[in-house]
Chain A
Amino acid sequence: MQRRVIFPDKGLPYLLLAPQLAITLVFFFLPAGQAIWFSFLRQDAFGIRTEFVWFENFAELFADPLYLDSIRVTVVFAAGVTLLAMSVALGLAVLADRQIRGATAYKTLLIWPYAIAPAIAAILWIFIFHPQIGLAGRFLNGIGVAWDYKLNGAQALLVVVLASAWKQVSYNFLFFLAGLQSIPRSVLEAAAIDGASESRRFWTIVFPLLSPTTFFLLVINITYAFFDTFGVIDALTKGGPAKATTTLIYRAYIDGRVNLDLGSSSAQSVVLMVAVIALTALQFRYIERKVHY
């Protein structure tokens, strides 16, 4: 935590820290504190009178069937994105890890989607799933499936999950590949000589050894699905149809930006902060364990 040899200056370290601390105070702690404070307040319709209402905003939030619905949407959405993005990435990583020619080329060809903005990924997928101009959209309508993600909630959820997962696969692929390459070849070869089949080797040796990576990616992917996919939803469905793709973040945005409901939107921010803290704590427990091993 501390080096033995240091510089004796008294004022300089404060000066060096000043920019980062100033930004952190003004744009992180002040707003977070205000979110907590506002979540206990209620304004009248004209924004003139403000009343301290304790936990009423929270009570109302959790009594609101639409809010509970957006929790359900978020859970389904996050589970879909995480499962899809992780399983596809693991499959591709296992294949790319085999000693085949061109493994580096495959790696390069698979990592670039990481660089694409979620909102841009959404636009790419519009041209596949748009009912009139999209490749798959037109095909589905052609074979008699009533495909229109702008009208059908389940289809809308499917499209936002696909677009969000598509972008995340490359990230997971990199980490799975790194994890696979750190597994000693000799262990796998010994098992192969003992006659263990490929799938048996995977499930009894490779998969358990990958579990720290898998757990780390699980947390990262859930966080991604919660917070970074706002652009996908805004570009593709705007939370519709009939709120079928309104996640917790999207709802907080609508309540604050469109409905200007300060109390409720702050209460939602606080709920989300608790969720991030829980996720981050999980992630650090994992890192700590890894350090001790």
Chain B
Amino acid sequence: MHAPVSAAALAEADRATRAADRARRNGALVTHAILILGVALFALPIWIVLMGSTHDAATISRGEVPLLPGAEGLANYLTAWGEGSAKTTRAPVSAMMLNSFVMALLITFGKIAISLTSAYAVVFFRFPGRMLAFWSIFITLMLPVEVRIFPTFKVVSDLGLVNTYAGLIVPLIASATATLLFRQFFLTIPDELVEAAKMDGAGPLRFFKDVVLPLSTTNMAALFVIMFVYGWNQYLWPLLITTTGDVETIVIGIVRMLGSEADTDWHIVMATTVMALLPPVAVVILMQRWFVKGLVESEK
């Protein structure tokens, strides 16, 4: 059946295969090289700050930002943690980190809690004003805090909530995104399940607690990552609402630490930067699977 194959043709084919292999290997090598370069580019600023945070102030202000670790690391971190930057800040890093934790966690739990109950209400009940309620939550997607910042500030200050955790947190707790996500998920719960629960005599609260909540844990985990990062990284709102050091968050505190050029304790700023970015980055990396799921589901 086959045409007789000459030795020369075989050698030729072999050469071609090897050339293709070599090209593929080289291609993969280039791919890896570019990706590693990309990763390095993203890590470079972090590396500089990490190394800088282990040197003394004089080295950094002389402009000798070092690319290798120094000996002052522990001292810098302890100073930042316990005292902060003496010339410019109003609070030590430990206090500001605690504020950021309280704010990020309460925003996260608050958003998840009130979105769960509102989505449950619009999906599992029929009542007058149901669509109106749904749309008024939905439309807040179009009103980010940045565009209505002063009127919102005025409302909060009229309520006497400036410089309080409540003022910092409550206005950011409403979440159209989370409500939409939970609503979509609740719509996929089979009718038979609800029917069975009703037959067993379970009321709506019982069904919520025993069936809906356990089924929603994956969605909650996914939202937790996104909302925690959102809460931790807030900037404009805390900037307006915190006028004393008491409820200052780390992200605001660190920018205030920069102060005027001559007064900046660069080594303390660097140590603080590392501490400020650690919690959200840790949450994203540790919960990567849920983070990706949450992002893709909530945005699409």
Contacts and interface: CB of A to CB of B under 8 A. Distances in A.
Interface residues of A, number: 96
Nearest to B255: A235
Given A112-B281, A115-B281, A35 B148 contact: yes
B53 to A, nearest CB: 10
Given A16-B118, A115-B229, A276-B142, A269 B171 contact: no
Interface in A213-259: 216, 220, 227-228, 230-231, 234-235, 249, 252-253, 256-257
Interface string B135-153: 0110011111011111110
B265 to A, nearest CB: 12
B48 A128 contact: yes
A124 B194 contact: no
Contacts of A17: 117-118, 121-122, 133
Interface residues of B, number: 96
Contacts of A164: none
A100 interface: yes
A168 to B, nearest CB: 12
Nearest to A128: B45
Contact of B235 (A112, A115, A118, A277): A118
A231 B251 contact: yes
A182 to B, nearest CB: 11
B148 A127 contact: no
A133 B150 contact: no
A28 interface: yes
B299 to A, nearest CB: 7
A178 interface: yes
A287 to B, nearest CB: 7
A190 interface: no
A122 B126 CA distance: 49
Nearest to A27: B171
Contact of B239 (A124, A216, A228, A234): A234
Interface stretch (B75-83, B216-224, B272-280): B272-280
A114 interface: yes
Nearest to B202: A7
A115 B283 contact: yes
Nearest to B123: A3
Contact of A123 (B39, B44, B203, B255): B255
Nearest to B270: A127
22 contacts: A6-B125, A6-B126, A7-B204, A19-B117, A20-B175, A23-B114, A28-B148, A29-B136, A32-B143, A109-B43, A117-B235, A117-B280, A127-B270, A135-B48, A138-B63, A174-B296, A216-B300, A227-B147, A231-B236, A265-B150, A272-B147, A273-B147
Interface of B: 28, 31-32, 34-35, 38-39, 42-46, 48-49, 52, 60-61, 63, 65, 113-115, 117-118, 120-127, 130, 133, 136-137, 140-144, 146-152, 154-156, 170-171, 173-175, 179, 187, 191, 194-195, 198, 203-205, 207, 229, 232-233, 235-236, 239-240, 251-252, 254-255, 258, 266, 269-270, 273, 276-277, 280-281, 283-285, 288, 291-292, 295-296, 299-300
Interface of A: 2-7, 9-10, 12-14, 16-17, 19-21, 23-32, 34-35, 38, 88, 91-92, 95-96, 98, 100, 102, 106, 108-128, 132-135, 138, 166, 169-171, 174-175, 178, 216, 220, 227-228, 230-231, 234-235, 249, 252-253, 256-257, 262, 265-266, 269, 272-273, 275-277, 280, 287, 290
The 10 closest A-B pairs by CB, nearest first: A31-B151, A117-B233, A124-B45, A231-B235, A16-B121, A13-B125, A115-B280, A13-B121, A272-B147, A27-B171
